[in-house]
Amino acid sequence: MRKVLPLIASMVLIAIASLFAGVGAMAYFSDIEVGEGNRFEAGTLDLKVDGGDVVQIITIQNMKPGDDTGYYKWVLRNVGSLPGNLTVTIEIIEDSDGIDTEPEAIAESEPYGYQGARPTLGHPDRGELSEFLKPTCGWGPPGWSVPSRIISEWRVGPSPAYAGWSFGLRSWDGKTFVYGTLGPGEEIAFFFKVRLESDLRAWDGCSWHDVDDNVIQGDYVTIRIIFRLVQE
């Protein structure tokens, strides 16, 4: 009997030791689900102009009295996820005499109007092509070749008469035009053109006077058109 008890005790100890030894190696089945679609991101404002850059450069040259450039057109599309306020700004980046010709020099030296106001077109900031170009711009459907809504057109003299001696396309330098809201996926076309009257005229501070058309010979003007889409 005394021999049996130690044997039983030994077997119990072995069983207990085996039980604890198995704890470290024991495995459990498990299943972890990861929820999909729980992604948070900021909305985007992204404007494309004909699929490209939002800044466009135009050089207007080789024009003669009576010419019209016809409409330039850019299709603007909001490819972002948020609506934005669409604007366009026109800036003159170069207003040059180009090639100086003898007829142009003579025309710029001729007096007109009141001698005390603007005696000649030879002033460094006067007699350039931008002063005589008459601009028009507007908005319309992308498929159209002309605007359905003209937003600005230079028609007559400055208002008031002494408005900084700013005329024609020159008076638009730095000017911003507002379209309004352009929603995600929406698109609109912007149109722009300039024309020259058949007979050029200049303002002397009191009235308009005919000038020698040769005053713009060889002149050219380069403008920058900047499209912006800003969060509302």
pLDDT single digits (tens) 18-46: 545 555 555 554 434 444 545 566 766 78
Quick check: is 26 in a domain? no
**What DSSP state is assigned to residue 171?**
G
Mean pLDDT of the chain: 75
Quick check: is 135 in a domain? yes
Report the predicted TM-score, pTM, of the whole model to 2 decimal places: 0.74
Residue 153 in tokens = 């057109």
Task: Name the one residue in this structure whose structure tokens are 């003898």.
Answer: 102
* 114 neighbors 105 (Cβ within 8 angstroms): no
Quick check: is 38 in a domain? no
Number of structural domains the chain divides into? 1
Q: What is the percent of the chain where pLDDT is above 70?
A: 60
Q: Where are the alpha helices (DSSP H) in the chain?
A: 4-23, 102-109, 129-132
Domain residues for the domain of 183 are 47-231
* 136 neighbors 227 (Cβ within 8 angstroms): no
Rounded average pLDDT over 113-127: 48
Each residue of 205-225: pLDDT tens digit? 667 777 778 878 888 899 999
Cis peptide before 83 (omega within 30 of 0): no
Task: Name the one residue in this structure whose structure tokens are 């909001």.
Answer: 78
Quick check: is 6 in a domain? no
Quick check: is 61 in a domain? yes
Quick check: is 33 in a domain? no
Quick check: is 93 in a domain? yes
**Count of Cβ atoms closer than 10 Å to residue 101 Cβ:** 13
